[in-house]
Structure 1
Amino acid sequence: MSAIKIPPPATALTISIKHLTCNTNKPTVTTLFTRNCRALKRPRFRRSLTTVAMSTNSVEVCAKASLTVPNRLGDCPFTQRVLLTLEEKHLPYDLKLVDIGNKPEWFLNITPEGKVPVVKLDDKWIADSDVITQSVEEKFPNPSLVTPPEKASVGSKIFSTYIGFLKSKDPADGTEQALLNELSAFNDYIKENGPFINGKDISAADLSLGPKLYHLEIALGHYKKWSVPDSLPHLKAYMKSVFSLDSFTKTMPLTEDVIEGWRPKVMG
């Protein structure tokens, strides 16, 4: 098992300087800590660390390990959704990286189905990103990430149509057009209601859709030499806005991992 503790912002730090490891000579191992390394060198930040009281315990998260780089987060979009939720709520979390190709016994004892993400809340392990994010929202309601019910399904068919097109071997089977129809509908929605699904505020729906669009962009670009058309400018602007969120850049997988993660579905 490989575990990485992700500290919260300075207002809710639960660890001290002596427990942080920052090795700038090994970026692949310490990428998830880089946001702390520079700050730790500043005297002002060091003083604030020692005076902040512990406000909440870390949330334990079992996540897919990288397929290409040791000790890195893997490419699961559902896990990223959960991590985005924790980041946007400024909650500290403890990542337990799992080799999905060789699942350890301790992980299967937690979840016999062997699927990620799995999160420990109130001493209980919870599976399924829908259930996890709802549980986090209920336990930590501020800041709110609730998407109004009438907007919660916006863009919800994009991922399934993307997978259909990605796996397709027949250019004339209509899967590309089905995806374009969903992307066009989303483009029109954002044009009228954006910049995010719930208007000006980021919400749970964006944190669910964002990782899926990220996979879409990388996998279709690699396997199909396909990209989102310029005729969908509002969708492209939305993707750029979500992908540039601080929480997103901290939790996004390596491009190589996204490519390798989808290879079995593409190659059959």
Structure 2
Amino acid sequence: MSAIRIHPPTTALTISIKHLTCNPNNLNLFSTNSRNFKRSGFRRNLTPIAMSSNPLEVCAKSSITVPNRLGDCPFTQRVLLTLEEKHLPYNLKLIDLANKPEWFLSISPEGKVPIVKLDDKWIADSDVITQTVEEKFPEPPLLTPPEKASIGSKIFSTYIGFLKSKDPNDGKEEALLNELSAFNDYIKENGPFINGKDISGADLSLGPKLYHLEIALGHYKQWSVPDSLPHLKTYMKTVFSLESFTKTMPLTEDVIEGWRPKVMG
């Protein structure tokens, strides 16, 4: 079971996860035995892994709607998904980004999350963090082949463009639909995941962004992924139902409130 410890002086929540286990104003666009896990109809064969001797330290955005809950940063969820899929234990410290504690600013002067402590060094940026984790803990592998790493990479930026758009005729919706359609066609021929039958880092990066897309566009635009893109919808359902995803996903209310400044601004 997870042990939860609250530290009032730092306004941070620490969660020790034992089992295998954003800055909202600056969204950057750019051991155990082998076993089988059954998830959404897919079975993954997991190889023995070299466990981290000590839990990793992870600083993440806290919920702005419910106390002591993980917040809505998709880049942080990407990092947590990576740790979960690699079954690495970690201590999660939740940071109130509206009232950052001094100890946090001392390790993250720009006040950004996620930030992870690896080998006594704090590392920022989800790209750098996940790459470092992959190098240090290569099993099970999550590396995406270079030729597939950019699949779906433009979806998030076009989603933001459409979400912020005030003009229904500016082509932002069409641009998003073009990206989603291209991804739908790719998954149709190459799925169920971006790297075929095996989940990879590309899925762990794209999944949280699609989750935000679904919630925010549904709330602010009354828009949903069209039924004409069935393979994309199946992909989203598969990723969102992963145990690692349900364990790390933000509350719907936090996603909505997290995007409000972007929409209303």
Task: Report the TM-score, using the length of structure 2 for normalisation.
Answer: 0.84
Offset at 1:8?
Answer: 2.4
Offset at 1:62?
Answer: 0.2
Aligned to 2:58, what secondary structure does the other structure show? strand
Larger radius of gyration: 1
Cα shift readout 1:78-115 (whole Å, capped 9, x = no counterpart): 00000000000000010000001111111110010110
Q: Does 1:124 align with 2:135?
A: no
Q: Does 1:254 align with 2:251?
A: yes
Aligned to 2:238, what secondary structure does the other structure show? helix
Aligned to 2:256, what secondary structure does the other structure show? helix
Q: Does 1:225 align with 2:222?
A: yes
Q: Does 1:6 align with 2:17?
A: yes
The list of structure 1 runs, each at least 4 consecutive aligned residues, that deviate by more than 4 angstroms after superposition, is none
Counterpart Cα distance in 2 of 1:105 and 1:122: 22
Offset at 1:189?
Answer: 0.2
Identify the match of residue 89 of structure 2 among 92, 96, 111.
92
Counterpart Cα distance in 2 of 1:263 and 1:247: 27
Identify the match of residue 178 of structure 1 among 175, 179, 182.
175
Aligned to 2:98, what secondary structure does the other structure show? helix
Instruction: For structure 2, list consecutive stretches of 5 or more residues without a partner in the other structure.
Output: 1-11, 22-30, 33-50
Aligned to 1:172, what secondary structure does the other structure show? coil
Partner of 1:56: 53
Letter in 2 for 1:188: D
Letter in 1 for 2:248: T
Identify the match of residue 99 of structure 2 among 76, 99, 102.
102
Partner of 2:134: 137
Counterpart Cα distance in 1 of 2:143 and 2:177: 28
Partner of 1:32: none
Counterpart Cα distance in 1 of 2:120 and 2:20: 23
Cα shift readout 1:184-237 (whole Å, capped 9, x = no counterpart): 000000000000000000000000000000000000000000000000000000
The alignment's C-alpha RMSD in Å is: 1.2
Aligned residues: 227
Letter in 2 for 1:202: I
Identify the match of residue 188 of structure 2 among 188, 191, 210.
191
Counterpart Cα distance in 2 of 1:135 and 1:9: 19
Identity over the aligned pairs, expressed in percent? 85
Letter in 1 for 2:220: Y
Report which stretch shifted further, 146-155 or 101-110.
101-110
Counterpart Cα distance in 2 of 1:248 and 1:184: 24
Counterpart Cα distance in 1 of 2:262 and 2:205: 21
Partner of 2:264: 267
Partner of 1:158: 155
Counterpart Cα distance in 1 of 2:240 and 2:17: 20
Q: Normalized per residue, which structure has more helix? A: 1
Task: Report the TM-score, using the length of structure 1 for normalisation.
Answer: 0.83
